[in-house]
Amino acid sequence: MSNDRLIIQGGKPLFGDVKISGAKNSVLPLISISLLFDKSFTLKNVPDLADTRLMIKLINALGIMTKFYDGTIDFHGEPQNIEAPKELVSKMRASILVLAPLLSKRHNALIPMPGGCEIGERPINYHIDALKQLGAETFLKNGFLRATLPQGRFTGNEIKFPKVSVGATECAIMAAALAIGKTKIYNAAKEPEIVDLGNCLNLAGANIKGLGTSIIEIEGVSNLNPVTYSVIPDRIEAGSFAIIAGITKGEINLLNSNPKDLKVFFEKLKKTNVNVEIYNNTVKVKGISEINAVNIHTEPHPGFPTDLQAQFMSLMCIANGKSIIEEKIFENRFMHVPELSKMKASIKIDGNKAIVNGLNQLKGASVKATDLRASMSLIAASLSANGESIVNDLSHLKRGYENFEEKLFNIGANIR
């Protein structure tokens, strides 16, 4: 935990341009596939985030050499080690993404179990089951997962996920890319970050079809060719700044964004009376005086993203009337509620639903960021609140928002 905190003087409309960075949830699996290449691989539009740097450290520990400069990562070499260091895995759940590529290239992997996290238990049983379907053997002992690939290569098979999982779908794609024969994934996740991973692998010579649908078919290939690939824009960062425009009654242009990846989110935002104009890769978001209360429920893509639930709730705190926010992906994703309540928000939790009674104005308070997206919801709430707020423990925010202080400062936020 860091003692970093942000002091925000709220109640000021924010105006200006925000250039959206590369997507955190894309770059993490894309860094993992550097383990699959024989020689080199280059990524562009890489956001400089705490999680990006952790993932780079992890693949460095596995033997890949990297150079990270100006939003570019050059990768060289093949994995030399099979053991993921515990001190890195314990800091980032997404570390589990190295498992499939490591098995594919080295036929062996030793990974400490990532365990639970702030927003719920988050098991990895679907990852393990998918790898077993493709020929891996796994053993759990003393908090470590040991996995082997006795046949030396994954073998194509059918995988049916009981529930949509982004990470497990990525795991299956990464394993099947270099497998012998054909793999068919049913109930696959359709998130844009899955499509990004598949597009990058296809550019390098993989044969993956059905990306963005619930059935993905992969014909294994023997190796990947060196490529340079650019990461898609971060839709969650774009959505977060759209909320900031609405909640502060300002006007923000989201540059370099991918609005088609946020269709349902923008539809809901428009219903709240926030003005949203979409022009190719730019979205103009303008807060208009009265905010309407709108119900949402989170769902896998293309539904409303769970990663924007907390930020949307902040907007509902100042809406006209009552809204119901239902979290259907994670079992414990209302950690921001007690913090928003410190700012005088009126929210009642009933199971996986939060019932928000909108008030005219929130009041500045000292609050604690508990997880990545909750941090942004508290910053959005503080920017709109009356008086001064202190958002403590910014380490979470730094995991997923590139240059957030500079971006907020550039649109006129009064922050220290």
Catalytic annotation, residues: 117
Say which residues have a Cβ less than 8 Å from residue 161's Cβ, sequence separation at least 6: 126, 130, 168, 169, 185, 186, 187, 188
H/E stretch holding 338 reads: helix 336-342
Is there binding between residue 126 and ligand UD1 (CB under 6 A)? yes
Task: Single out the residue of 134, 159, 166, 262 in contact with ligand UD1 (rule: CB under 6 A).
Answer: 166
Taking CB positions, which residue lies at the least distance from ligand UD1?
Answer: 167
Residues that bind ligand UD1 (rule: CB under 6 A) add up to a total of 20
CA-CA distance, 335 to 316, in Å (whole number)? 16
Q: Which is nearer to ligand UD1, 168 or 356 (CB)?
A: 168
Strands (DSSP E) found in 231-340: 251-255, 275-279, 282-286, 296-297, 322-326
Is there binding between residue 22 and ligand UD1 (CB under 6 A)? no
Return the structure tokens found at 264: 């349902």
Q: Which is nearer to ligand UD1, 306 or 311 (CB)?
A: 306
CA-CA distance, 402 to 58, in Å (whole number)? 20
Is there binding between residue 404 and ligand UD1 (CB under 6 A)? no
Q: Which residue has the tokens 């060196």?
A: 226
Task: Single out the residue of 80, 123, 151, 260 in contact with ligand UD1 (rule: CB under 6 A).
Answer: 123
Q: Closest distance between ligand UD1 and the C-beta of residue 175, in Å?
A: 14
Interface region with ligand UD1, contact rule CB under 6 A, candidates 37-45, 123-131, 346-354, 383-391: 123-131
CA–chain centroid gap for 340, Å, is 22
Q: Which is nearer to ligand UD1, 170 or 339 (CB)?
A: 170
Q: Closest distance between ligand UD1 and the C-beta of residue 92, in Å?
A: 9
Task: Single out the residue of 39, 120, 137, 186 in contact with ligand UD1 (rule: CB under 6 A).
Answer: 120
CA-CA distance, 24 to 38, in Å (whole number)? 25
H/E stretch holding 240 reads: helix 235-247
Is there binding between residue 328 and ligand UD1 (CB under 6 A)? no
Q: Which is nearer to ligand UD1, 122 or 132 (CB)?
A: 122
Asked if the bond preceding 101 is cis, omega within 30° of 0, the reply is no
Is there binding between residue 116 and ligand UD1 (CB under 6 A)? no
Residues within window 177-196 making contact with ligand UD1, judged by CB under 6 A: 193
Residues within window 224-283 making contact with ligand UD1, judged by CB under 6 A: none
Check if the beta carbon of residue 98 is closer than 8 Å to that of residue 84.
Answer: yes
Check if the beta carbon of residue 10 is closer than 8 Å to that of residue 387.
Answer: yes
Say which residues have a Cβ less than 8 Å from residue 321's Cβ, sequence separation at least 6: 292, 293, 357, 358
Is there binding between residue 53 and ligand UD1 (CB under 6 A)? no
Is there binding between residue 309 and ligand UD1 (CB under 6 A)? no
Sign of CA dihedral 219, 220, 223, 225: positive
CA-CA distance, 232 to 20, in Å (whole number)? 10
Interface region with ligand UD1, contact rule CB under 6 A, candidates 32-40, 99-107, 118-126, 406-414: 118-126
Q: Which is nearer to ligand UD1, 24 or 249 (CB)?
A: 24
Q: Closest distance between ligand UD1 and the C-beta of residue 16, in Å?
A: 27
Is there binding between residue 291 and ligand UD1 (CB under 6 A)? no
Interface region with ligand UD1, contact rule CB under 6 A, candidates 133-141, 159-167, 311-319, 353-361: 159-167
Pinpoint the alpha helices (H) of 33-161: 50-61, 86-89, 99-106, 125-133
Q: Closest distance between ligand UD1 and the C-beta of residue 235, in Å?
A: 11
| Count of other CB atoms within 10 angstroms of residue 155 | 18
Is there binding between residue 173 and ligand UD1 (CB under 6 A)? no
Is there binding between residue 168 and ligand UD1 (CB under 6 A)? yes
Is there binding between residue 28 and ligand UD1 (CB under 6 A)? yes
Q: Which residue has the tokens 């049913």?
A: 186
Return the structure tokens found at 282: 């730019």
Residues within the interface to ligand UD1 (CB under 6 A): 25, 28, 94, 120, 122-127, 163, 165-168, 193, 306-307, 329-330
